[in-house]
């Protein structure tokens, strides 16, 4: 502890009073400088191959939160409750009185947060604590933070130290400002929150405080600190997008950069997957869930790709160029990869190789292991007998990801993922999207406001029905006001007209089970096209205008994709009857969710787009508001300049 205070004093770093008091008065304090040190501490020393993370809970007695094991390729942690193996979407609560559209602590729990804050510090002062510094963000975009957790929860601290770049005491810069802090106090979920995951955000004048009352890293170490970045961006007028990204290289040396957004379960991590061939060498497009029929395609050579981002990317002003394309860079230091789609050896050889013999220890969550064994990403722990956990995870430092891209990239294709249920005429649903659709800019913005969470989401606790994840699909993690984010996204879309927008479903296309094949085949097809545009006879306005343009035909390496995968109403199991019923559901959902954006501070262009949707506008009407393809003057720096320009066709927002 003396070393810590000596270092911060020498480097003129100010510790907030409540942090300094906690560290001085706690039972003991260990400062960590490397992830390896935390990996060793995760099992309470190398001599212990297995360790129980447990606490004395008033009224419950001793309670084991998780079992942690040393494995050959890192640390494996498993929670004792199935509920704790997924993120609860209702985790966030706001404790301060700054502007917010989220429920406040007092509104939700009926009392002021300072009372609980005082109890939290009192409990933490009785614990052996672990501390380290981190940088939330990358490449000088973001801010310095400090993490304080019970020492016996070192596995949680290890995950945090991987996701956010760990900063050793020696690496601390002089006069550095601490902008965020995460306090970890898991016992309070039992004593105060009925066993639920809760993360309290308290935005003070100088520091963004996070109180994590659980040990699942998703809502705190990852999404909680995502909220810190979103708060900073809201104040400074830039976005941290909820997306993955890859640079895809065709067999003919075309390079196309894809950015894939969407709600949880929308296929972000899966954009990094390689297409798996069937034993005969063909690629399975899908299987009809009614008849059992399978359809295949032959692709002699696949594209290669270089990963760029897995879940979050900065769209920072310092990255942008006036070339009409959005430019991004990864916002994370490590990737929190869901491996539910890896069910046996060979499902994802690249990821398997990366995780089986990594250059440094990885953290495995919800993977069935034994001490000193090798954690295998297809061995998912069971939530109950015969029911595997749907959210197995591994945290992988981006520096060990093969061929990872470390520089900003310009986005060619910006896709949005929809987790779609099965649709038939007997049981219609919103699963009416074809292989992929091309979206006009105005519709691309609407999809990012509504951001359907979708069918059978594996990552979070949910009802399973269609729900909105909100603006940008990152709204569950944002602390502030909804409209500023909607405005920022609209400005971003209008200022990047050379980035093409697509919509791509996963899991089901009508009556066909397809998994994540649509986005992988889209990646293959559009990479091969390079800068070439789709032929005008290749697409037409979708029967459901919210789906933009649907494809009339698609040929990949000489193999035609059957029309039933491009136009769902061509499937006999769906027909026009099932399709139109599903379209009505989708339209109703959009109209309901968009009402909350009709506020006075919404940009006028945005209001016109929403009004168009509420009036059942055609695609041509959306294109009149924000034209899909014309030559912009790339000197426009903001939407106001755009709205005043002749390119806006004289239509003022």
Show the domains of the chain with their CATH numbers.
2-39+55-66+79-236 (3.40.449.10), 240-326+411-648 (3.90.228.20)
β-strand pairing of 512-515 with 500-509? antiparallel
Instruction: Provide the sign of the torsion angle of the four alpha carbons 80, 133, 403, 330, taken in this order.
Output: positive
pLDDT score for 533: 81
| Residue-wise pLDDT tens digits, 510-522 | 999 999 999 999 9
| Residue-wise pLDDT tens digits, 10-66 | 999 999 999 999 999 999 999 999 999 999 999 999 999 999 999 999 988 999 999
Torsion angles phi and psi, residue 140, rounded to 5:
70, 10
pTM for this prediction:
0.92
What is the number of other CB atoms lying within 10 angstroms of the CB of residue 350? 14
Q: How far apart, in Å, are the Cα atoms of 361 and each of 185, 348, 379, 398, 407? A: 25, 20, 18, 13, 25
What is the number of other CB atoms lying within 10 angstroms of the CB of residue 97? 9
> Sorting pLDDT into bands at 50, 70 and 90, what band is 460?
low
Q: Is 90 exceeded by the pLDDT of residue 97?
A: yes
> Sorting pLDDT into bands at 50, 70 and 90, what band is 1?
low
- The tokens of 384 are what? 């109950």
Q: In whole angstroms, what is the distance from residue 621 CA to residue 608 CA?
A: 10
Q: Is 70 exceeded by the pLDDT of residue 74?
A: yes
| Residue-wise pLDDT tens digits, 174-189 | 999 999 999 999 999 9
> Sorting pLDDT into bands at 50, 70 and 90, what band is 323?
confident
Calculate the average pLDDT of the chain.
92
Lowest mean pLDDT among 50-54, 68-72, 247-251, 526-530: 526-530
| Residue-wise pLDDT tens digits, 424-451 | 999 999 999 999 999 999 999 999 999 9
Q: In whole angstroms, what is the distance from residue 649 CA to residue 81 CA?
A: 58
> Sorting pLDDT into bands at 50, 70 and 90, what band is 653?
very low
User: Is residue 43 packed enough to be buried (19+ CB in 10 Å), middle (13-18) or exposed (0-12)?
Assistant: buried
Share of the chain above pLDDT 90, in %: 86
């Amino acid at each position: 502890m003396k070393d810590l205070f000596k270092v911060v004093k020498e480097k003129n770093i100010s510790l907030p009073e409540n942090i300094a008091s906690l560290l001085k008065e706690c039972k003991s304090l260990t400062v960590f400088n490397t992830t390896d040190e935390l990996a060793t501490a995760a099992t309470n020393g190398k001599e212990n191959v297995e360790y129980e993370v447990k606490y004395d809970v008033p009224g419950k007695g001793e309670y084991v939160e998780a079992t942690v094991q040393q494995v050959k390729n890192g640390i494996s942690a498993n929670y004792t409750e199935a509920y704790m193996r997924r993120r609860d979407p209702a985790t966030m609560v706001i404790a301060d009185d700054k502007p917010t559209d989220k429920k406040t602590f007092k509104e939700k729990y009926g009392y002021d947060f300072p009372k609980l804050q005082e109890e939290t510090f009192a409990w933490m002062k009785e614990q052996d604590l672990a501390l380290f510094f981190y940088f939330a963000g990358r490449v000088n975009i973001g801010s310095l933070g400090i993490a304080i957790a019970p020492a016996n929860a070192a596995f949680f601290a290890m995950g945090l130290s991987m996701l956010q770049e760990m900063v050793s005491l020696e690496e601390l810069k002089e006069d550095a400002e601490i902008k965020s802090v995460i306090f970890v106090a898991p016992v309070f979920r039992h004593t105060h929150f009925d066993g639920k995951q809760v993360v309290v955000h308290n935005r003070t004048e100088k520091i963004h405080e996070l109180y994590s009352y659980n040990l699942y890293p998703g809502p705190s170490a990852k999404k909680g600190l995502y909220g810190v970045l979103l708060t900073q961006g809201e104040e400074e007028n830039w976005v941290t997008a909820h997306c993955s990204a890859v640079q895809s290289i065709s067999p003919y040396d075309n390079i196309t950069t894809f950015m894939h957004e969407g709600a949880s379960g929308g296929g972000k991590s899966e954009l990094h997957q390689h297409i798996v061939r069937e034993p005969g060498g063909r690629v399975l497009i899908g299987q009809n869930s009614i008849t059992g029929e399978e359809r295949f395609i032959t692709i002699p050579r696949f594209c290669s790709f270089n990963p760029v981002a897995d879940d979050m990317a900065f769209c920072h002003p310092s990255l942008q160029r006036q070339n009409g394309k959005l430019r991004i860079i990864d916002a994370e230091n490590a990737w929190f990869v869901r491996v539910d789609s890896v069910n046996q050896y060979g499902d994802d050889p690249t990821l398997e190789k990366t995780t089986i013999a990594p250059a440094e220890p990885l953290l495995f969550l919800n993977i069935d292991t034994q001490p000193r064994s090798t954690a295998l990403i297809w061995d998912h722990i069971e939530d109950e007998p015969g029911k595997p956990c749907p959210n197995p995870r591994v945290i992988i430092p981006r520096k060990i990801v093969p061929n990872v891209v470390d520089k900003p990239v310009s986005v060619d294709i910006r896709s949005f993922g929809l987790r779609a249920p099965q649709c038939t005429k007997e049981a219609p649903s919103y699963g009416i999207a074809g292989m992929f659709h091309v979206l006009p800019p105005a519709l691309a913005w609407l999809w990012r406001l509504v951001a359907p969470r979708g069918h059978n989401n594996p990552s979070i606790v949910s009802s399973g029905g269609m729900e909105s994840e909100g603006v940008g699909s990152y709204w569950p993690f944002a602390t502030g006001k909804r409209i500023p984010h909607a405005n920022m996204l609209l400005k971003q879309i209008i200022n990047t007209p050379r980035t093409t927008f697509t919509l791509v479903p996963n899991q089901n296309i009508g009556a066909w089970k397809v998994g994540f094949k649509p986005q992988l085949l889209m990646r293959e097809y559009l990479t091969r096209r390079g800068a070439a545009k789709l032929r005008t006879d290749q697409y037409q306005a979708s029967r459901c205008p919210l789906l933009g343009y649907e494809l009339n035909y698609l040929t990949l390496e000489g193999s035609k994709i059957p029309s039933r995968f491009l136009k769902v109403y061509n499937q006999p199991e769906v027909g026009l009857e099932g399709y139109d019923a599903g379209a009505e559901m989708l339209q109703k959902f959009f109209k309901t969710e968009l009402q909350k954006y009709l506020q006075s501070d919404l940009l006028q262009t945005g209001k016109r787009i929403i009004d168009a949707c509420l009036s059942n506008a055609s695609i041509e009407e959306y294109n009149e508001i924000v034209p899909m393809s014309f030559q912009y003057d790339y000197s426009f720096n903001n939407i106001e300049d755009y709205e005043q320009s002749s390119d806006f066709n004289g239509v003022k927002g």
